[in-house]
Structure formats: C-alpha cells, structure tokens
Structure 1
Amino acid sequence: MMRTRWIPGPERRGEDPVVVALTAFRLHRAVHLPRACRTGWGLSRLWPELDGAVGLWLWADPGARRIGSVSVWRSEAGLRAFVRLPAHVAIMRAYRDRGELVSVTWTSTAQDLWEEARSHGVENSAPRG
C-alpha cells in the first residue's frame, strides 16, 4: 500500500475531537485505476480551501485495485459540505458503476490518526476478489 504525504486543510487540529472519514473504493477493472487515481488527486487540490478540513491522506493498493482516503474534519458539518460539493458529486456519479465503495466515519482524539485508520481497516476496508 502507498499513501501520500499529509495534505493540510485550512483548519488546525487543536485539542478538540476531530471527525475522521475513511473511504475505500475497489475498482472492478484495473483499466480504470489510473484515471481514478488522477481524479482523486485533482479533488485533493481543493483541500487547502475547504471549510472545516484539517487534512487528508490519499492511499492506493494497486495490486488489489483499491484507492481511498483518510480525511480529518473539525466537525461533521465540514464533512457533509464536502460530500455535497459539485466536484465530489460528479466524481461519485462518474465512478459509481465502476467499483464498490466502503466508508467509515468516527470521532477521535487520537494523536496518530493514520494508525487509528489502520485499526479501522484502511488496509482491508474494501472487499477483495
């Protein structure tokens, strides 16, 4: 598995709990993997300007045709606003028939959020097969 460096958002982490969202998308066909990765990278360019965004990691497991993210938010309202963004909605519509999406969200005070995401199943959160 590969992951990006931390992509910071405009919000600081602080001491308060944060909302963490883990998404995993398993593509039905490997041919769609390069474009799906580029599309995710493109969306990540919005991160520094998103209200409520603390930061983000993108990850990929090419051998399993799996890509995803671990995003960190000050509140659920910021996460919900991102999910409704026209660019995000367009991506979800474009890829909905090309794979299977799994998403898990939780509130956290952990210092090592990547490790916590691993404990929530970042490595096996999308079906294999």
Structure 2
Amino acid sequence: MPTLPWIPAAQAAPTSEVVVMASRFRVRGLRHVLLFFIDSMRVLAQMRKADGAVGVSLVAHPLRREFATLSAWRDRAALDAAVRGEPHRSVMRRQRAAMADSAFRFWTTPAESLPLT
C-alpha cells in the first residue's frame, strides 16, 4: 500500500495561517487493513475536494496496522465541515469496530511553510 505524499488542494494566501491536523489510526487486526485502506482512499478523495482544504497526505504501514494523515485547512470550521460530510461520516461509523486506537493533534502554522512533511 502506497504512501501518498503531500497533495495540494487549494492555495492559501502566503501570509495567512492554516490549521493543521495530524491523525494516527491503528486497526485491531490485519484482516481490517485492506478495507480501512480502501475507505481511507475514499475519504482522501473527499478531503482533496472539500471547501477549505489546503493539502493532504496519507502514510500507510499495513504490517503494523497503522495509518497516518496530515492535512492543512483554511480554518477549523472548514475541517469540521469536511469531517461531517460524506463519505467521511459513514466511514467513521463503519470502521469504529475495527479501531484499536486513534490519536489527533491540531496546530496552526504559516501557509508559507507548506507543504508539510
């Protein structure tokens, strides 16, 4: 399963600040990895097109059953709206039982520091 490096979505004004979200997901077993990856690709496609998305990336470590995302957003309201949209909302519901754990971190950074790694 590939690692998808930073994919720009929309241009942020260089003098602005963006909201960054990093997430890490670990599924319970190897049997959950493929479906989680497929769902991740659906969500990634949604996020790339979401209003306020500045950029996204995905790192998959299938043998460790781990996935990580990094994304930048115009503001927290845009991020929250995307999370409530489809297919993200359905994927969260469908994958809940497969989750061993998840973690999220948020911060702001100058748009000129993009792309993030």
Q: Same fold (TM over 0.5)?
A: yes
How far apart in 2 are the matches of 1:72 and 1:41?
17
1:49-103 residue CA offsets vs partner (Å, 9 max, x unmatched): 2110001001112221001210110111110101111311110111111111111
How far apart in 2 are the matches of 1:13 and 1:102?
29
- Structure 2 unaligned spans of 5+: none
Deviation of 1:13 after TM superposition, in Å, equals: 5.3
How far apart in 2 are the matches of 1:11 and 1:84?
23
TM-score between both structures, scaled by the size of structure 2? 0.86
- What secondary structure, in the 3-state scheme, does the structure 1 residue paired with 2:5 have? coil
Moved more, 11-20 or 21-30: 11-20
Identity of aligned residues (%): 29
Q: Structure 1 residue 78 and structure 2 residue 81: aligned? A: no
Structure-1 residue corresponding to 2:40:
40
1:18-72 residue CA offsets vs partner (Å, 9 max, x unmatched): 1000111100101110111111112212234211000100111222100121011
Query: For the Cα contact (< 8 Å) 2:47–2:82, is it kept in 1?
Result: no
Q: How does 1:51-66 map to 2 (within 5 A)?
A: 51-66=51-66
How far apart in 1 are the matches of 2:13 and 2:116?
11
- What secondary structure, in the 3-state scheme, does the structure 2 residue paired with 1:96 have? helix
Structure with the bigger percentage of strand: 2
TM-score between both structures, scaled by the size of structure 1? 0.78
Moved more, 75-84 or 38-47: 38-47
Q: How does 1:73-112 map to 2 (within 5 A)?
A: 73-99=73-99, 100-109=101-110, 111=113
- Report the number of matched residues: 113
